[in-house]
Structure 1
C-alpha cells in the first residue's frame, strides 16, 4: 500500500537525516480542509529529534519527494502534508479495477477455520428484537471473517430443555384442547410462545391466591400447583418418560418450523445446529480430568469448584454436590466437542452473546486455558448491548416483547408506503414491487443495527431507520441503484489512462484504496460497524462526485471513461460491503 511505502521511506529518511531510528511514525489521510493526500504527524518525532517541526517537515518532505511518488508537500502546524502524483493514483485504480471481489481474500483448502455461534434461542417463545441484533452480528461477522480468507462454520445451540420448556408443554396440556399450529393457522414458535404466556398468567394468579391465604410471596411461588406440575414434568422428561418426550419433540418441532421462517426472512443461515438436550451432560468427564490435574477441587459436600480469585474473578461451581451439571459444565463440554470432535481443523471460536454474559465467558475461557486447550486462547465473546425502543426497554414473559416477525413485516410495510409516496415504481410488476419493499425494509433494519458498535446499546427507531436521507440503509441502496442506472446507459471497455485527476475523482480512489484494510480491521476488532460506516462515507463521497462532475455527459472521452469506471467500482464496493452485512442492494429503486 502507498501508506506503507511512505512509512518505510519516512523511517529511512529520518535515519539518514537525523541518525535516529523511529518506529512509531503516524501517517494518515489529509483532512479535507488542507492541501495534500497523506499527512505525517511531526509532533511525536520531537522526542527523538532536537529540531523544530517546520525544519523536520521541510527536510523530510524534500527527502520523500526525491524517492516516492510525491509531487509536492507543505508543513502546517506540525503536520507534513504530502501530495501524490495523479498517475500513481490512476495506476492504483487500474489495479483495483482489474480485481474481481476486490477487498476479499479467497478461502483456500488449507485456510484457518473458525466457528461463529449466534442466535441460541429458547424453544418456548418466538425470536424477538434482541435476537435480530444477535443474528445480524453473528451472520455478518461470519461473512467478514470469510472475506479475510478464513473457513467459517456458522452454528447455533438451541436451548430445547429445562423448566421453561415444560411450562409451555404443561400449559398446552391444560388449556390447548388439542389445537395445533396447523389447526389455528398460527406460526409454530408463536403458537408455543402463546402457551408460555398463558402459563405465566395462570402462575401469577395462583401465587396471588396463595398470598391472599397468608403465604409469603416466596412460599407461594414455590407452592403454586401449576409450578409444581411443571417441575414434575421436567423430572419425568429427565427420566425418559415416553409420553412426555413425544410431546416435547412435537412442540419443539413446531418451534423449529417457525424459526426457519424467521431465519429465511431475515436472510441468515447455519451450517450446524446443536441442541442443549444433547449437550447438557457433556463436560462431566472434563471436570473429572480437571480434578485429577488439580485445576478443580472438591468441597466437603461433594461439589466441585475452581478458584479464580488470583485472576480477579471468584470461586466458580462446575459440578453440584449431587453430581449434576451447571451451565459452565455444559459449555466446557460443548466447546471441546465442537472444536476437537466435530471440527478438528478449528483454530478459534466466536460466541455472539449479549453483554449480560460478559462474566460467564471470562470464566469459561479462563477455565479452558487452565485445562490446557491450545485453542482456548483464540476464543472470543462478541458481546453486544441491549436493543431498546424509543419508549424504553422491551418486556419479556408477559408477551409484550417486540416480535422479530412483526418488526420485519412493519419495516417492509413502511418501505412500501415510502416507495409509493416517492412514486418511482413505473413499470414494476407487483412481484417486483414486493421484492423491492422487502429489500428496502430489511436493509433499513439491518443497517440501522449494524452501523452501531456492538458494545453500545441501541435505541431502535423504525421510522428513523428507513429515511431515504442520512446514514441509513435506504440512502445507500438508492445510491447503488443510481450507479446501476448509469452503468446501463453506457459501456466503456477502455481502461482509465493517465490524465489529470479532479479532487473528487482522487478522493474516491483514496476511499476505494482502503477497503481491504477496512475489512481486515472489522475482522480483527469483531466490529461490522466499521464496514457499515465505511460504505456510508463512500456513498457520501460518490454523491458529492456525482453532483459536482458530469459522468456520461462529460465531453472528453477519456474523462468520461474514467468517471464511468470509477462509478462502476464504487457500485461494486457498495454491493460487497453490504453483502458482508447481509444486506441486499436493488438494481432499480
Structure 2
C-alpha cells in the first residue's frame, strides 16, 4: 500500500480518537531542506476541523504515527508543520522493488490517444530558432504524455499555400535561371527562402519608386507590380492552372526535402503530415451543420458568425459573405478530420506561439458548441518567443537565425570547449564528432526546454554550452562520470543477478537517502509534467537529481569502501541514477554520452 495512503488513514484515525472529529483530507508536502524529515504533514489545514494549538496537535499525531506506522521512526514539529523521518528500510525496500530503472517512470499505455501538433512551418523559408523551440516543445511533450500512459500521434500541418508561397515562386521565376538545390549546392528550403528575401527586396524598390511618383505608402504597397503578379499567381494556383501548380509542386518538394534533413539532425519525427493545400477547403460543411444547430448565425451580407459574447469573447467570422473560408473555418474542419482519421483520438495539443492564444480559445469553444466530446480535451501549448542577444528576427529581411546554422554553431562551440578541457585525446575522429554533436544539441535542447513554455527566452549559445550549472552538458558529464565508475567497478562485485536483498539491512548515509528520495519522485514528476504539458519539470528534476548525485559522489566513497555489500549497493545506486538521467533526457529528446 502507498505510504501516503497509510499515513492519511492513520492520521484520520488519530484525529478521530484524540479529538472526536472526522478529518476529510490530509495535506502533505515535501519537507523543506532546512528541517529534518522526509515528508511533512500540514497541520494548519486541519484547524478548520480540529480545534487547538497546532504544535500540540502535531506532537499528538506524530506520537501516534511513530507507534502505528513502522516506516515512521521519529518526527519534529515546526509551528504548524509535522515533519516525519522515515526509516532506512523504507527507502531500501523501494530501491529493491524497482527491478529496472531504465523503464522506471513510464506507465502502461492506455487506450485513449492524444494528437500533438508541432512544427507546422511555411514552405517559403527554412526553419529558424523560433521553430526549434516549437519543435522541441512538441516532440518532448509527445514523449512525456506517452510515458504517462497515453497513446500519442505526432503530427504537423504544413502551410504550403497562400500569397507568401507565391512570392518565392514569382521571384524564382523571374531571377532563378532554373537554379535547383543540386545546381546551387543549397538545401531546398534555403534556396526557396533566398527567393522569398529577393521578392521582398524587389517589392520594397517598387514601393519606393511609386512613392517618388507621388503615391502614398499605402497606395504604393497595394499597386506594386510584384505584389499584383503574386496575387495573380495565387488566383491561378487556386483555379488549378497546370504550369503554376507544377512550379508549386517542384519548389515545395525542394522545401520538404530540406525540412526532413533538419528534422533528422534535430532528432525529431512525425507520425503523420497534413497539408494546408488539402485542408483549406475543409470546415465549410461543418459551418452549414452549425447553422442548422443554431451554433452560428448569418448576417445580412451572407457572412456567417459565431456569437461568443456570453463567454466573454466577441463575435467571430467563420465564413465570408462570398462563401470563402477563413483560417478558423479550416482549423475547425481539420480538427474534425483528424478524429475521423484517428477514431481513438480523444484530445489534441496544439504547439503554437502565444500570439495565437485568442484564436485557440475561440476554436476550442466553437468545437465544444458543435457538440464534439473530445473538444473538452483540447489544449493550446502556448509558448513565448525566443530572442537573441543581437535582437529580433525577421524572415523576409533574411535576419532570422537559421535552424541548421544554429545547430552547426552549437556543435562547433561544443568542439572548442571539449578540446580546451582536453579529456578526449584517445577518441577517434568519428567518436569526437559524435560527442561534439551530442553536447552541442544537448546544450541547445536543454537550454530551451528547462524554461517554462509560457516564458520568453533570451537564448545565449555560449552560455548554454557550459559544463557547470543548470545546463545540458553538465548533466551529460555526470552521466558519463557514472559510466566511468561502472566500468571501473570490479566485475566480481557486481553479480549478473540484479540488486541484492541484503540491501534491506544496510544503514544509509544521509546522501544515499537524499538520492533515493529524489529517484522515488521520478514517476510522479513524469505524471505532473504530462498533466501540465511542461518539459521544464523533467529538465529541472534531472538537474536536481544530478546535483544530489554529485554531492553523494563527493561525500561518500563508492568504490573505496571495504564493505562489499555497501560497495555493491552504491554501484547499483549509481547505475539507477544514470538510468533515470538517460530516461529523463530521452523524454526531452537529448542523447547522453558514454564518455566525455
TM range (shorter): over 0.9
Matched, 1:253 2:260: no
Residue matched to 1:106: 108
CA distance in 1, matches of 2:9, 2:247: 68
Residue matched to 1:334: 334
Shift of 1:160: 0.2
CA distance in 1, matches of 2:85, 2:56: 18
Shift of 1:18: 1.7
Residue matched to 2:397: 398
Shift of 1:99: 5.3
Residue matched to 1:283: 283
Q: Please give the residue correspondences for 1:327-406 in structure 2 after superposition, counting only pairs within 5 Å.
A: 327-339=327-339, 341-406=340-405
User: Could you tell me whether the CA contact under 8 Å between 2:197 and 2:395 is conserved in 1?
Assistant: no
Shift of 1:98: 4.3
Shift of 1:22: 3.0
Report which stretch shifted further, 49-58 or 439-448: 49-58
Shift of 1:294: 0.8
User: Could you tell me whether the CA contact under 8 Å between 1:443 and 1:474 is conserved in 2?
Assistant: yes
User: Could you tell me whether the CA contact under 8 Å between 2:102 and 2:579 is conserved in 1?
Assistant: no
Shift of 1:97: 4.3
CA distance in 1, matches of 2:9, 2:347: 33
CA distance in 2, matches of 1:231, 1:20: 76
Residue matched to 2:553: 546
User: Could you tell me whether the CA contact under 8 Å between 2:113 and 2:347 is conserved in 1?
Assistant: yes
User: Could you tell me whether the CA contact under 8 Å between 1:497 and 1:558 is conserved in 2?
Assistant: no
CA distance in 1, matches of 2:376, 2:564: 56
Q: Select 2:562's aligned residue among 552, 555, 558.
A: 555
Q: Please give the residue correspondences for 1:64-213 in structure 2 after superposition, counting only pairs within 5 Å.
A: 64-68=65-69, 69-98=71-100, 100-107=102-109, 111-213=111-213
Report which stretch shifted further, 265-274 or 18-27: 18-27
Shift of 1:51: 1.1
Distance 1:107 1:360, change over 3 A: same
TM-score (norm 1): 0.98
Structure 2: segments with no counterpart, 5+ residues: none
3-state SS of paired residue (2:47): helix
Residue matched to 1:414: 413
Residue matched to 2:432: 433
Shift of 1:394: 2.0
Q: Residues 101-125 of structure 1: CA distance to partner in whole angstroms, max 9, x if unpaired?
A: 01101325xx211100000000000
CA distance in 1, matches of 2:207, 2:21: 77
Residue matched to 1:571: 578
Shift of 1:26: 2.2
Residue matched to 1:509: 516
Residue matched to 1:583: 590
3-state SS of paired residue (1:120): coil
Q: Please give the residue correspondences for 1:479-498 in structure 2 after superposition, counting only pairs within 5 Å.
A: 479-490=478-489, 491=491, 492-493=494-495, 494-495=499-500, 496-498=503-505
CA distance in 1, matches of 2:260, 2:5: 47
CA distance in 2, matches of 1:423, 1:75: 51
Structure 1: segments with no counterpart, 5+ residues: none
3-state SS of paired residue (1:116): strand
Shift of 1:96: 2.3
Q: Residues 312-365 of structure 1: CA distance to partner in whole angstroms, max 9, x if unpaired?
A: 0000000011111100000010000001x2101111110000000000000000
- Between the two proteins, the alignment pairs up a number of residues equal to 586
TM-score (norm 2): 0.97
Residue matched to 2:61: 60
CA distance in 2, matches of 1:384, 1:4: 37
Residue matched to 1:11: 12
CA distance in 1, matches of 2:244, 2:286: 30
Shift of 1:468: 0.3
Residue matched to 2:464: 465
CA distance in 1, matches of 2:414, 2:22: 58
CA distance in 2, matches of 1:174, 1:412: 37
Residue matched to 2:310: 310
Shift of 1:44: 2.0
CA distance in 1, matches of 2:509, 2:279: 61
Q: Select 2:544's aligned residue among 532, 537, 543.
A: 537
Q: Please give the residue correspondences for 1:263-278 in structure 2 after superposition, counting only pairs within 5 Å.
A: 263-278=263-278
Residue matched to 1:48: 49
CA distance in 1, matches of 2:24, 2:300: 57
Shift of 1:273: 0.5
Report which stretch shifted further, 242-251 or 98-107: 98-107
Shift of 1:79: 1.7
CA distance in 1, matches of 2:518, 2:232: 63
User: Could you tell me whether the CA contact under 8 Å between 1:97 and 1:569 is conserved in 2?
Assistant: no
CA distance in 1, matches of 2:4, 2:550: 26
Shift of 1:24: 4.3
Q: Residues 458-492 of structure 1: CA distance to partner in whole angstroms, max 9, x if unpaired?
A: 00000111100000000000000001111112242
CA distance in 1, matches of 2:157, 2:283: 15
Distance 1:444 1:99, change over 3 A: closer
Q: Select 2:528's aligned residue among 510, 521, 532.
A: 521
Q: Residues 75-113 of structure 1: CA distance to partner in whole angstroms, max 9, x if unpaired?
A: 1222211111111110011112445501101325xx211
CA distance in 1, matches of 2:205, 2:263: 35
Q: Residues 223-260 of structure 1: CA distance to partner in whole angstroms, max 9, x if unpaired?
A: 00010000000000000000000000000000000000
CA distance in 1, matches of 2:243, 2:390: 44
3-state SS of paired residue (2:240): coil
CA RMSD of aligned residues (A): 1.1
CA distance in 2, matches of 1:435, 1:188: 25
CA distance in 1, matches of 2:5, 2:262: 45
